[in-house]
Amino acid sequence: MRISASLCLAVLACATFVATAATAQQASKPASITAATPPMGWNSWNFFAGRVTDKDIRAAADNLVATGMKDAGYIYVNIDDTWEGQRDETGVLHTNDKFPDMKALADYVHSKGLKIGIYSGPGNKTCGGYAASLGHEEQDAKMYAEWGIDYLKYDLCSFIPDVMIKQAPDDKAAQMRIMIDAYQKMGNALKATGRPIVFSLCQYGWDAVWEWAPALGGNLWRTTGDIDPHWDRIYAILSQQDGLAKYAGPGHWNDPDMLEVGNGKLSLNENWSHFAMWSMLAAPLLAGNDLPNMKPEIKAILTNKDVIAIDQDSLGKQATRVYSDGEVEVWTRHLSGGAMAIAVLAAGDSRFSTHPFHLDLAKLGLHGPQKGKNLRDGQEITLTNNMPIEIQSHDTLLVRIAAPK
């Protein structure tokens, strides 16, 4: 009797110990971060704009899988503006004819091992003039969660005239506070759903959004106005990112807007430089091209695993521009394990290979020859001080140095 009693006590103590240890382990386990690395996927706007349909989104999901982009990390399939129909008398927002069944579409995208994103805004109307979420934030967030939505892009647009200017006509600072409250409202509504939904703020970088967006649950925020597939625009956006590195990190990213790789008349060098520099910026990589008709050289850029590894580096440290020399710029990014990425970009229109650029390693804090990998051709490269680099207009030399000295 005594034996079994003490055995019982020992078992109990042991069980308590195991349970306590398990709880302690759980407590010390970091909660998983939403958007621990910059979100990657595809968004409908840059190619389809207002024409996008349910069929296009299904085809995008199919193509992300078929092209190997899913395996390269492109997980989100994001429906941008123009899916919205009318609200009924209970306030429920219905889809329009182009999207007959959003739940079924989300299930389809999920069945491919992908995630799905949607679009709305804090105003009465979206930028395209469709119904947005003003006064229905919680109802909409709940509906997204019920559909299985994983990502929301929330676009300011009509909130500016309808609410900000109307409520505080001559007070810009008050307008900004109203705007921040509107994003807070949706941040709270998403949180209340209990579903991890990436929250993407689209308000064009107003009022130093990078300062306040993380606190209200923002995982990424646009830092500028819209991108378009022209080098001048891409470069103008790139220039505005310098200095923002300190605001980016796991779970919260600067968003210089979605990719135009493969769109318009960008040259191959421009497509490459756009992708290389967005990866240096730890930017969300949201392709926006015509996936079914993607050319092999565009696919090669978008699925370049070494470049994607720069973008997705777990440290999450965005690049800074270390120096420029006329129209050539040198950016560096610190990577996990002490590695470093160096980008030499010929940003201007008039540099050709006959007059090489000379790289000043000391300016990058490096001394002596640096062994690395050229991420465009995958070849080994050794950077030496003052070495001549032949680089053409709008091209980028992107090098990863495993052990910088």
Between 81 and 137, name the residue whose CB sits nearer to ligand GLA.
81
Between 155 and 395, name the residue whose CB sits nearer to ligand GLA.
155
Between 50 and 91, name the residue whose CB sits nearer to ligand GLA.
50
Q: How far is the CB of 227 from ligand GLA (least distance, A)?
A: 8
Helices (H), strands (E): how many in the chain?
14, 18
Bridge partners of 211, per DSSP, are none
Q: How far is the CB of 126 from ligand GLA (least distance, A)?
A: 6
Q: How far is the CB of 292 from ligand GLA (least distance, A)?
A: 22
Q: How far is the CB of 67 from ligand GLA (least distance, A)?
A: 23
DSSP code string of 244-277: -GGG-BTTBEEE-----TT-TT--HHHHHHHHHH
The gap between the terminal CA atoms of the chain, to the nearest Å, is: 71
Q: Does 275 bind ligand GLA (CB under 6 A)?
A: no
By CB under 6 A, the count of residues binding ligand GLA is 9
Q: How far is the CB of 256 from ligand GLA (least distance, A)?
A: 12
Q: Does 81 bind ligand GLA (CB under 6 A)?
A: yes
Among 39, 128, 229, 288, binds ligand GLA (CB under 6 A): 128
Rg (Cα) of the chain, in Å, rounded?
Answer: 24
- Which residues, in sequence order, are CB contacts of 63 under 8 Å at separation 6+? 69, 291, 292, 294
Between 260 and 329, name the residue whose CB sits nearer to ligand GLA.
260
Between 54 and 80, name the residue whose CB sits nearer to ligand GLA.
80
* SS3 at position 87: strand
Instruction: Give the active site residue among 155, 311, 313, 395.
Output: 155
Among 54, 150, 155, 313, binds ligand GLA (CB under 6 A): 155
Among 202, 280, 310, 328, binds ligand GLA (CB under 6 A): 202
State the residue for tokens 């609410």: 163
Q: Does 80 bind ligand GLA (CB under 6 A)?
A: yes
Between 117 and 404, name the residue whose CB sits nearer to ligand GLA.
117
Active site residue 155: yes
Q: Which of these ranges, 87-95, 97-105, 122-130, 159-167, lies near ligand GLA under the rule CB under 6 A? A: 122-130
* 231-250 binders of ligand GLA (CB under 6 A): none
- Kindly report the number of other CB atoms within 10 A of residue 43's CB atom: 26
Q: How far is the CB of 90 from ligand GLA (least distance, A)?
A: 26
Q: Does 198 bind ligand GLA (CB under 6 A)?
A: no
Between 54 and 84, name the residue whose CB sits nearer to ligand GLA.
84
Q: Does 54 bind ligand GLA (CB under 6 A)?
A: no
Q: By Cβ distance, which residue is nearest to ligand GLA?
A: 127
Residue length of the chain:
405
Cα(155)–Cα(118) distance, integer angstroms? 11
Cα(321)–Cα(140) distance, integer angstroms? 41
Between 153 and 394, name the residue whose CB sits nearer to ligand GLA.
153
Among 138, 162, 207, 226, binds ligand GLA (CB under 6 A): 226
* 348-377 binders of ligand GLA (CB under 6 A): none
Cα(317)–Cα(311) distance, integer angstroms? 9
Q: Does 45 bind ligand GLA (CB under 6 A)?
A: yes
Q: Which of these ranges, 124-132, 191-199, 293-301, 346-354, lies near ligand GLA under the rule CB under 6 A? A: 124-132
- Which residues, in sequence order, are CB contacts of 117 under 8 Å at separation 6+? 41, 43, 76, 77, 78, 79, 149, 150, 151, 152, 153, 198, 200
DSSP code string of 304-348: -HHHHHHHT-TT-PPPEEEEEETTEEEEEEE-GGG-EEEEEEE-S
Residues 291, 63 contacting (CB under 8 angstroms) = yes
Q: Answer positive or negative: Cα dihedral of 144, 145, 148, 150.
A: positive
Q: Does 255 bind ligand GLA (CB under 6 A)?
A: no
Among 127, 180, 237, 347, binds ligand GLA (CB under 6 A): 127
Bridge partners of 332, per DSSP, are 320, 342
Give which of 201, 196, 169, 167 is closest to 185, Cα–Cα.
201
Cα(288)–Cα(127) distance, integer angstroms? 18
Which residues have a catalytic role annotated? 155, 226
The residues binding ligand GLA (CB under 6 A) are 45, 80-81, 126-128, 155, 202, 226
